[in-house]
Amino acid sequence: MVNTKVSLCGIELDNPIIPASGTFGYGAEFAKLYDIDCLGTFSFKGTTREPRFGNPTPRIAEAPGGMLNSVGLQNPGIDHVIEHELPEMKRYFHKPVMANVSGFSVEEFAEVCGRLDTCEQVGWLEVNISCPNVHGGGMSFGTDAKMAARVTSAVKRATRKPVLMKLSPNVTDIAEIARACADAGADGISLINTLMGMRIDPRRRAPILANRTGGLSGGAVFPIALRMVWQVYEVVDVPIVGLGGVRSAEDAIEMMLAGATAVEVGAENLVNPFACRNIVNELPAAMEKYGIRDLNEIIGGAH
C-alpha cells in the first residue's frame, strides 16, 4: 500500500488533489456526478464582500493548449456564501473546505477573511491577490511585494485559520512576492494563477473577449507553473499548493517533486468533470510506477 495522505498547514488531507477555485463552483454540480468526498478538499468560488456580476460577455475564448477566461470574479458575495452555500455544502462534502477570497482593498480582504473565520467548515483561506481580470483589483496587490505583504498581514490579523496567498505569475520575480508574503506571516503559498493573454477575431478585427484580455490556463501553462513552484520552494519555508495546467496523476507528482505539498486542478475540470476523481484514482498506480511509497517523501524531492 502507498500513502497518499499529506498535511497542509496542519490539516490532514486524504490525498493532495484539490479542484481549483473558479472551476468547481461550490461543488454541488460535481457532487451529482461522483462522491466528491474522495478529494483532498476543494477551493470554492472566489468570494468578495459584495455580490459581483462579473465582466461582460464573451468571457471565454479557446487557445492552443488551453483557454482564456475573463469571468471577473462573479460571485454572490460573502453574506450569501455564509447563509446559503456553506450550509448546503454540508450535505455533500464532509471535510474542511478551502475558501478563496478576493478584494479591492486591504480592508475588504481582511473583512471577508474575518467573516469566514467563524465558519467551522472552512479549513483554509486562499487569498487571491492575483486575478488579472478585474481592473483596479488583484493585479496591483499581486504584482507588488509591499502590497502583497500588507494584504497578508491584514488577513492574518483578521483570522486564526491558515492563510494561503495565491500569487500571480504576471511578475518579474515570483520568488520576491512569495518571500514577502511568507515574511508577513502567510501560512502557505498557492501558485500560479492564470497568465495574461488575448485572442483576436480576424473577421471582426477585434478582441474575442469583451474585456480584451483574459487569463490563460490549461496544459500550456504547466511548465511555467512548475518552474515557479520550484523557484518559490527555494526561498520559503511554508507549504506550497501548486497549480497551473495539471491534468494527470503524473503532473501532480511532478508538482510535488518541484516543491508542492498539495496540487490544484483547474481548467481540466471544465474539459472533463471527472478529472479530479480520475487523478485521485490513478495516483496510487503512478506512485507505484515511480517507486514512491509515501508522497511526503517526494515534496521538493527534485531539488
> Cα–chain-centroid distance for residue 16?
13
Catalytic positions, please? 131
Cell of 237: 519555508
Distance CA 82, CA 24 (A): 18
Per DSSP bridges, beta strands 206-207 and 200-201 are antiparallel
In DSSP terms, 13 is beta-bridged to 6
Distance CA 216, CA 268 (A): 13
Distance CA 85, CA 107 (A): 23
Q: What is the DSSP letter of 73?
A: -
Distance CA 179, CA 190 (A): 12
Please classify residue 110 by burial: count the beta carbons closer than 10 Å to its beta carbon, then call 0-12 exposed, 13-18 middle and 19+ buried.
buried
Distance CA 164, CA 187 (A): 6
Distance CA 5, CA 177 (A): 29
Distance CA 259, CA 232 (A): 8
> Which CA distances in Å does 200 have to 66, 160, 204, 206, 234?
16, 45, 8, 5, 38
DSSP reduced 3-state for 250: helix
